[in-house]
Amino acid sequence: MGIMNAVPVGASLTLKSDIARGFGNASGTYERASRLQRFMGNTMLQKLQSRGSRQVESSILDLGCGTGWFTRKLADMGQMELLTGVDLSPGMLREARQNSPEAIRWLLADAERLPLPDESYDLIFSNLMIQWCDDPCAVLQECRRVLRPGGLLMVSTLLDGTLSELKAAWQAADPEHQHVNRFETELALQAKVRAELHDAALETRTIRLPYDSPMSLAGELRFLGAGFRGAGRRRAVTAPGRMRAMCSNYPKQADGTVMASYEAAWIYWQKS
């Protein structure tokens, strides 16, 4: 779903509430701003569909379902006994319920402590959620527990280097404060994945998306509920002069537009 990592120890409950509230406040604007989220999730859907009829998933869990965009896409793939969307944000789940078939089950829960039975799902699909978690290893442990033997896990996330252009522009404009969320390095993510799912596959690539201006990028992040919430952020509203300085330091294309880089990663694992 979102764009953050490294929740400080001892503050996880407070920050989880902040994260849930931020995404809930953005539930009405999330889908029309979620270009990256759709690309990342569609990459997993295409891989799932390429498997054809080799395996039938009778029970599917969309972990970090947000407004239910991909939960509905999964529902369209065919008949299944159980389809569950899980999210930490009550606001996101309200939006999901309002726009989805009644047959989908919605569950308010923390991905690090799922109130679900062992070996109860054939597929766990999680799109841009795990980077919001205090302990990604706990999430992977829960996924391993909840998956049935032969079940498939598909996870997307973001890595260090994401929004590097925005980070550099803010560093020049306001060097004493952080404005861009932090992410795992690829090596750190690999270590955590290998520790929990030793034979998982990790795929990475750089995605670059165009924006009319740095303000358009900032607006998209706001509409997604993915603004910066780290400890180094300014407590007051950013002054217009600093915002203008950030915009002037952001690298421009020849036509005046800007690009934003996202370092994407996908985790694929099948339970033996």
12-161+181-208+264-270 classified as CATH 3.30.1330.80: no
pTM of the entire structure? 0.85
pLDDT score recorded for residue 179: 86
In 3D, which of 153, 150, 188 has the Cα closest to residue 64? 153
pLDDT at 215 over 70: yes
Where is pLDDT greater, at 206 or 53?
A: 206
> For the segment 63-122, what is each residue's pLDDT rounded down to a tens digit?
999 999 999 999 998 878 999 999 999 999 999 999 999 999 999 999 999 999 999 999
Where is pLDDT greater, at 218 or 15?
A: 218
For CA atoms 104, 109, 115, 117, the dihedral sign is positive
Q: For residues 248 and 154, give the distance between their C-alpha atoms in angstroms, rounded to a whole number.
A: 39
> For the segment 3-48, what is each residue's pLDDT rounded down to a tens digit?
333 333 333 544 556 554 544 444 444 445 578 999 999 999 999 9
> For the segment 123-162, what is each residue's pLDDT rounded down to a tens digit?
999 999 998 888 999 999 999 999 999 999 999 999 999 9
Q: For residues 82 and 103, give the distance between their C-alpha atoms in angstroms, rounded to a whole number.
A: 8
Predicted confidence band at 223 (pLDDT cuts at 50, 70, 90)?
low
